[in-house]
Structure 1
Amino acid sequence: MKLISMGLLAGVLVAATAALVARRRYVVVTVNGTSMAPTLSDGDRVLVRRRRLDQVSKGDVVVLEPPLDPTGKILPGPPGTDGRRWNIKRAVALPGDPVPPGIDGSVDRVPAGSLVVYGDNPHSVDSRQRGFFAGDRLLGVALRRLGGSAL
């Protein structure tokens, strides 16, 4: 009887450890809005792997906080369930890349620690209006729509 109890306890500990590791690496985000249409729709749930800026590639769909306004306040947008304001956009230029047309013309290259992001919807509010997004405000890279395909 003790062997079964010890085996069950070990199994529970392994499962709990795996759940903690997964929670630190992955998060589920619900899309709110149409900035990524037609790729993602309002209400889609997306699996996001936590990543640093140096782990992002051009073309990745990323989740990050919007830039701050000049007074240090977060620009408007709907808060997530955690109270933070998240944006889901596509990375189009990374540190050192040429700055795409229509973005801050005072520099030729994307500054270190920053990225340029666009929504797939041409009416998205993104780097074209807000400028560079800070890499230290990055949550991660969207891997797939839950119940759907990879992005």
Structure 2
Amino acid sequence: MGLITISSRLNPRHISHEADIVLQIRLLLPLATCAAAAIVARRSFATARVVGHSMEPALCDGDRVWLVRPGANHRFHVGDVIVFGHPRGHGSPPLLIKRIAEAPLDEPPLPLGSLWVLGDGESALDSRHLGPISGDAVLGVALMRGR
């Protein structure tokens, strides 16, 4: 019969230590992934509450809107509902929610990077009163609404 020796690699204490490390990695990896996803979501998404009636019937007073924050090269589309800072910087309300519309035929072409926005209601404070909105003022594009 031959003599059997246990190498240091097969030492039960060594195996136990490696198993503990693998177990810790398996537990920490999903937590780290969730934390990273939360950070990305926080920077990419936001919510807003609709105040007023200018977007009725699509959005009613008190509705919550999920927004995606536009990146530097975001392409806005006619029909997108956006939240933007008041173009005068100190207006009331400080944030507005409106729908991107085509510029009327009697308006001169919009400056590059500008948006023409309209509320769905007839008495909305929109580009008819404020003029074109800078795309840089857009804080979010609506994805969906809820109550």
Q: Which of the five TM-score ranges fits, normalised by the shorter chain?
A: 0.7 to 0.9
Q: Which residue pairs with 1:140 in the alignment? A: 140
Equivalent residue of 2:52, what SS?
coil
Report how many aligned residue pairs link the two structures: 127
Which is higher, the Rg of structure 1 or of structure 2? Answer: 2
Q: What is the root-mean-square deviation of aligned Cα atoms in Å?
A: 2.0
In structure 2, stretches of 5+ residues that fail to align are: 1-18
Query: Cα 1:74–1:101, aligned 2, differ >3 Å: closer, same or farther?
Result: farther
Q: Which residue pairs with 1:45 in the alignment? A: 64
**Superposition deviation, residue 74 in structure 1:** 2.3
**Runs of 4 or more consecutive aligned structure 1 residues displaced over 3 Å after TM superposition:** none
**Superposition deviation, residue 66 in structure 1:** 1.6
Letter paired with 1:74: H
Query: Cα 1:48–1:58, aligned 2, differ >3 Å: closer, same or farther?
Result: same
**Superposition deviation, residue 9 in structure 1:** 1.2
Identity across matched positions, percent: 39
Q: Which residue pairs with 1:56 in the alignment? A: 76
Equivalent residue of 1:116, what SS?
strand
Letter paired with 2:124: S
* Larger helix percent: 2
In structure 1, stretches of 5+ residues that fail to align are: 78-84, 94-98
| TM value normalised by structure 1 | 0.76
Q: Which residue pairs with 2:121 in the alignment? A: 121
**Superposition deviation, residue 48 in structure 1:** 0.6
| TM value normalised by structure 2 | 0.77
Q: Give the distance between the partners of 1:37 and 1:11, measured in 2 at CA.
A: 42
